[in-house]
A and B are shown apart, each in its own frame.
Chain A
Amino acid sequence: MKLTAQIALGTLVCFTMSCGSMQDVRLYGPSKSTSALEKFPYKILFTSSEENGLWGLKNNACKEISFETTNSYIGKDHLHIKWNESSCKYIGIGLKWGNYKGKNLWPILASAAIELRVRIDSGELSNVPMFFILEDYGGNQCRTKINYLDLEGGKIDTEWRRIRIPFQAFNYENRGVNMGNIKELRLEFQRKGDLHIDNIVIVPHTHNYAHTEETFTKIFDTHPIQLGVGKEYWWGINSKYSSDIQFGSSFKNESVILDLDTSKKKAWDTFGFSPYQWMRVDLSSIYTTSALTFKVKAAELPKIQAMLFAYSGKKRKLQKSLKENHFIERESGVFEAYLPLKSLIGYEDFRWDVLKEIRFKIMSNEPFEMGDFQLIEFRGNPKKPTKWKGI
């Protein structure tokens, strides 16, 4: 047997044997094993001031912390904090949690929660402006707050109420927190409050809530694209208040008839539509090779200003007044307009992945109809839109 063949065979045997004895360990995904919690050595965060370490206990103008020995839930004493953030940017305390040993929460992430008991001296609350923060050894922090679903009795009152903070509720993924190496737990307080806290421990907990990833985005990556399909996605047409703009029927797809009196002080001269059902429209892969086109039926070319709006971004609006060189007369009185997206000033700064609306302002009094709005492929000179042979 040649040496290479021997190495290959050896490697195969080795892998086969090793695999047989390997445990199913998920390096980055949360484990749902409950037995993992039994092995987790840092289940107690606070039961009394003597047993567990805290920091940030120094009183200042915004917080007053004491360890009270009467009416504790467990242990010799409990934590009592009064706070008012009026003159402070941050109010918080930290729990050293296993004396700052790096804690791997991955094995217990889906099967455990931080549990604590809280009460107030009088009255009743359904929420407290208090946040729970996990910090890893890289200084990254993730946070969450008290959720009504895990607040015993749905209220905080003079009884010791149980609160659970499932580990799954922390936004560790968004914040890039290494849940395999957690340094400490912090409690952050906002606005104003007065709370007794005791028995902060890790307990088994099932968290059956999903996290979806809906983005409300419609991606367009091929031409042609019919725009503004469905009259319910249009605005500016309301016959109860104005007959200046009405839906028409001269073209295959949606169109409007415009018969304006632009001399009116507040003329009804603008309409618009969503490219696609008022969702975010993503043209990012095709906008450089796209042109907006539509048909116009008119005795003479109307004065039209086209505007595009984005849902977000620094530059949210692009606009262009159409001129004669944007139009081709296809038959008598029927024109086609072409507006290459690259011809819009500032198009590079526009968020083409979140297109919101296409809008038109009309500056002509003569009646005409425009419609059949599409986005087509355009690879010509943006400055000479009607010269490209591809249209």
Chain B
Amino acid sequence: MERNINLFASLVFGMLYALTSQSQVRKVEVTTNAAGHYELHRNGVPYYIKGAGAKDHFDLLAKSGANSIRIWSTNNGSFLDSAYQRDLTVTLGLYVRPERGGMDYNDEYAVKGQIEQLKNEILKYKDHPALLVWGIGNEVDLRYSNFKVWETIETLAKFIKEVDPNHPTMTVIAGVDPAKAYHIKKHCPSIDILGLNVYGSIENAGANLRKFNWDKPYIISEWGVNGPFEAKTTSWKAKIEPPNGVKADQRKRRYKELIEKDKERCLGSYCFLWGQKQESTATWHGMFLSNGKPTEAVDVMQYCWMGEWPKSRAPSIRNISLENIGWKKDHVLAPNTKVNLSIEYLKYNNKKVILEFALFPEAFSNKIGGDIQLSPDPLKLDILTQSDTELTFMSPKQKGAYRVFAYVRNEKGQCSVANIPFMVE
């Protein structure tokens, strides 16, 4: 009896929730304006996406002028609720397993199982008021060989068209080339928007789409600084990461001169990454440190989204060198010798800044496409002297590949970071 009462109560609650949610569903559609330019409309009003790939720091994101987040899967539905509470919309990813993750698109059992599972996810989230766009698959094209994956993408997009007329469909690819543009155009007619994850290749992305005859709109679904996969390496294959200040300039230019200027086709963008993750280093794409403190990239995004810098700005490391040799070069040191690290930075309006340093073993990884990488544990840094711009330390006794990090932060914890890989031999 008690079970029946509980069941009834759950049913009533569920129906009420469904009705409430239904009434809050936002109609989102791709349309064209008087100039013939593509626009995203939400409840009939033009909606330009100022977004970030984010799973955290939502309050600061909203405060910085963003209006949307992109997440990569439906694993955690609470992100939608968190976004909704802050008036942020969500491009919701449907995780379509890539071939590089072991998926075999010639295996009918695996393909159908995945489709049925994702259909269930679509039904679960289609009426969420924060939902903006469906992101069907992320970089399924990266090192793929089986073009049948596009059949799965189309099956899901077509299903969305049947059950959810309120939200457009997008598939996200790792850079664009003419073959991918052709396959998606040909095999995925139910896809409304092309999502582009573009780092170095953002420079020509808009022009290339036109050359490759992609005639629908696009969203820059991931962008930022050039990725580790595009970076120069040392002679021992360690990726060379530019200092935060250099990366900040690159972000600002790309937003202002590439993303924002394409009014005709681009519906907006999601910067990467409003959070922290290990990708060759702990600081490459993340706009936050592992301790949750924001870097100057956050300030840059506020400037891009709102047109003004925050009152309190993070300092900015513009240059870093080891033994008077710049960060772009190889650094080979003898074991257990005195080494000098120097940095150049801008304090902006900070009266006081704090310098910190850390040493890590080099984190070589052959993972690609944002696949999960493990962070190395820090090593003891044997500091001899430290000033406002310089650090003298003893190189490790053990031979091997290392990376030294310099952090400059203000009293609020806003920071800038730079690093240099070096080899002890």
Bound Cα distance A272, B208 (Å): 12
When distances are taken between beta carbons in the complex, the residues of chain B under 8 Å from A240 are 210
Is the CB of B179 closer than 8 A to any CB of chain A?
yes
Bound Cα distance A126, B74 (Å): 10
Nearest-neighbour CB distance to chain A for B196, whole angstroms, equals 16
Is the CB of A241 closer than 8 A to any CB of chain B?
yes
Q: In chain A, what residue has the closest Cβ to B178? A: A235
B145 touches A311 (CB 8 A): yes
Is the CB of A342 closer than 8 A to any CB of chain B?
no
B114 touches A148 (CB 8 A): yes
A216 touches B112 (CB 8 A): no
Bound Cα distance A274, B147 (Å): 15
B108 touches A212 (CB 8 A): yes
Nearest-neighbour CB distance to chain A for B4, whole angstroms, equals 16
Q: What band does the interface of chain A fall in when counting residues whose beta carbon is under 8 Å from B? A: 35 or more
Q: Which of B83-91, B116-124, B322-330, B396-404 contacts A (4 or more CB under 8 A)?
A: B116-124
Q: In chain B, what residue has the closest Cβ to A168? A: B109
When distances are taken between beta carbons in the complex, the residues of chain A under 8 Å from B146 are 214, 216
Q: How does the 8 Å CB contact mask read for A260-280 relative to B, with 1 for contact and 0 for none?
A: 000000101010101000100
When distances are taken between beta carbons in the complex, the residues of chain A under 8 Å from B389 are none
B110 touches A147 (CB 8 A): yes
Is the CB of B250 closer than 8 A to any CB of chain A?
no
When distances are taken between beta carbons in the complex, the residues of chain A under 8 Å from B108 are 209-212
Is the CB of A312 closer than 8 A to any CB of chain B?
yes
Bound Cα distance A56, B145 (Å): 37
Q: How does the 8 Å CB contact mask read for B94-129 relative to A, with 1 for contact and 0 for none?
A: 000000001010111110111011001100000000
Is the CB of A207 closer than 8 A to any CB of chain B?
yes
A232 touches B182 (CB 8 A): yes
Is the CB of A65 closer than 8 A to any CB of chain B?
no
Q: How does the 8 Å CB contact mask read for A34-46 relative to B, with 1 for contact and 0 for none?
A: 0000000000000
Is the CB of A198 closer than 8 A to any CB of chain B?
no
Nearest-neighbour CB distance to chain A for B257, whole angstroms, equals 13
B211 touches A236 (CB 8 A): yes
When distances are taken between beta carbons in the complex, the residues of chain A under 8 Å from B145 are 311-312
Is the CB of B213 closer than 8 A to any CB of chain A?
yes
B211 touches A149 (CB 8 A): no
Bound Cα distance A236, B146 (Å): 25
When distances are taken between beta carbons in the complex, the residues of chain B under 8 Å from A238 are 210-211, 213
Is the CB of B263 closer than 8 A to any CB of chain A?
no
Bound Cα distance A238, B186 (Å): 17
Is the CB of A171 closer than 8 A to any CB of chain B?
yes
Contact check: which of A211, A232, A241, A278 meets B210 at CB < 8 Å? A241
Bound Cα distance A312, B141 (Å): 12
A274 touches B182 (CB 8 A): yes
A147 touches B182 (CB 8 A): no
When distances are taken between beta carbons in the complex, the residues of chain A under 8 Å from B121 are 126
A147 touches B113 (CB 8 A): yes
Q: Given A211-B108, A212-B106, A235-B211, are A356 and B120 also a contact pair (CB < 8 Å)?
A: no
Is the CB of B17 closer than 8 A to any CB of chain A?
no
When distances are taken between beta carbons in the complex, the residues of chain B under 8 Å from A209 are 107-109, 112
Q: Given A213-B106, A272-B178, A311-B145, are A149 and B112 also a contact pair (CB < 8 Å)?
A: yes
Q: Given A148-B114, A357-B178, are A214 and B210 also a contact pair (CB < 8 Å)?
A: no
Is the CB of A127 closer than 8 A to any CB of chain B?
yes
Q: In chain B, what residue has the closest Cβ to A126? A: B117
Q: In chain A, what residue has the closest Cβ to B109? A: A209
Q: In chain B, what residue has the closest Cβ to A88? A: B374
When distances are taken between beta carbons in the complex, the residues of chain A under 8 Å from B143 are 312
Q: How does the 8 Å CB contact mask read for A104-128 relative to B, with 1 for contact and 0 for none?
A: 0000000000000000000000110
Bound Cα distance A389, B207 (Å): 44
Is the CB of B8 closer than 8 A to any CB of chain A?
no
Q: Among A270, A274, A278, find the residue whose CB has the most chain B CB atoms closer than 10 A.
A: A278
Is the CB of B183 closer than 8 A to any CB of chain A?
yes
B120 touches A148 (CB 8 A): yes
Q: In chain B, what residue has the closest Cβ to A131? A: B102
A154 touches B117 (CB 8 A): yes
Is the CB of A225 closer than 8 A to any CB of chain B?
no
B213 touches A235 (CB 8 A): yes
B112 touches A214 (CB 8 A): no
Nearest-neighbour CB distance to chain B for A276, whole angstroms, equals 12
When distances are taken between beta carbons in the complex, the residues of chain B under 8 Å from A214 are 106, 146, 148
B213 touches A266 (CB 8 A): no
B179 touches A278 (CB 8 A): yes
Is the CB of B13 closer than 8 A to any CB of chain A?
no
Q: In chain A, what residue has the closest Cβ to B179? A: A278
Nearest-neighbour CB distance to chain A for B148, whole angstroms, equals 6
Q: Among B110, B112, B212, find the residue whose CB has the most chain A CB atoms closer than 10 A.
A: B110
Q: In chain B, what residue has the closest Cβ to A280? A: B145
Nearest-neighbour CB distance to chain A for B133, whole angstroms, equals 21
Bound Cα distance A149, B213 (Å): 38
Bound Cα distance A126, B182 (Å): 33
Bound Cα distance A268, B145 (Å): 30
Q: Given A154-B120, A171-B104, are A233 and B182 also a contact pair (CB < 8 Å)?
A: yes
Is the CB of A91 closer than 8 A to any CB of chain B?
no
Q: Given A148-B114, A216-B147, A235-B181, are A169 and B109 also a contact pair (CB < 8 Å)?
A: yes
A window 170-228: CB within 8 A of B:
171, 207, 209-214, 216
Bound Cα distance A89, B367 (Å): 14
Q: Given A214-B146, A312-B145, are A274 and B179 also a contact pair (CB < 8 Å)?
A: yes
When distances are taken between beta carbons in the complex, the residues of chain A under 8 Å from B211 are 235-236, 238, 241, 268, 270
Q: In chain A, what residue has the closest Cβ to B106? A: A212
Nearest-neighbour CB distance to chain B for A131, whole angstroms, equals 9
Bound Cα distance A312, B177 (Å): 14
When distances are taken between beta carbons in the complex, the residues of chain B under 8 Å from A216 are 146-147
Bound Cα distance A312, B142 (Å): 11
Bound Cα distance A150, B182 (Å): 35
Bound Cα distance A240, B215 (Å): 10
Q: How does the 8 Å CB contact mask read for A228-248 relative to B, with 1 for contact and 0 for none?
A: 000011011010110000000
Bound Cα distance A72, B396 (Å): 54
Bound Cα distance A241, B117 (Å): 42
When distances are taken between beta carbons in the complex, the residues of chain B under 8 Å from A169 are 109-110
When distances are taken between beta carbons in the complex, the residues of chain B under 8 Å from A270 are 211
Nearest-neighbour CB distance to chain A for B217, whole angstroms, equals 14
When distances are taken between beta carbons in the complex, the residues of chain B under 8 Å from A356 are 179
Q: In chain B, what residue has the closest Cβ to A166? A: B109
A278 touches B109 (CB 8 A): no
Q: In chain A, what residue has the closest Cβ to B103? A: A145
Bound Cα distance A312, B179 (Å): 13
B117 touches A148 (CB 8 A): yes
Q: How does the 8 Å CB contact mask read for A127-152 relative to B, with 1 for contact and 0 for none?
A: 10000000000000001000111100
Known: A169-B110, A311-B145. 18 other contacts (CB 8 A): A126-B121, A147-B110, A147-B113, A148-B116, A149-B109, A149-B116, A209-B109, A211-B107, A214-B146, A214-B148, A232-B182, A232-B186, A238-B211, A240-B210, A274-B179, A312-B143, A312-B145, A357-B179
Q: Pull 30 A–B residue pairs with CB atoms less than 8 Å apart, ordered by A.
A: A89-B374, A126-B117, A126-B120, A147-B109, A148-B120, A154-B116, A154-B117, A168-B109, A169-B110, A207-B109, A209-B107, A209-B112, A210-B108, A211-B104, A211-B107, A212-B108, A214-B146, A214-B148, A233-B182, A235-B182, A236-B211, A238-B213, A241-B210, A270-B211, A272-B178, A278-B182, A278-B183, A312-B143, A312-B145, A357-B178
The 4 A-B residue pairs with the shortest CB-CB distance in the complex, in nearest-first order: A209-B109, A148-B117, A147-B113, A235-B178
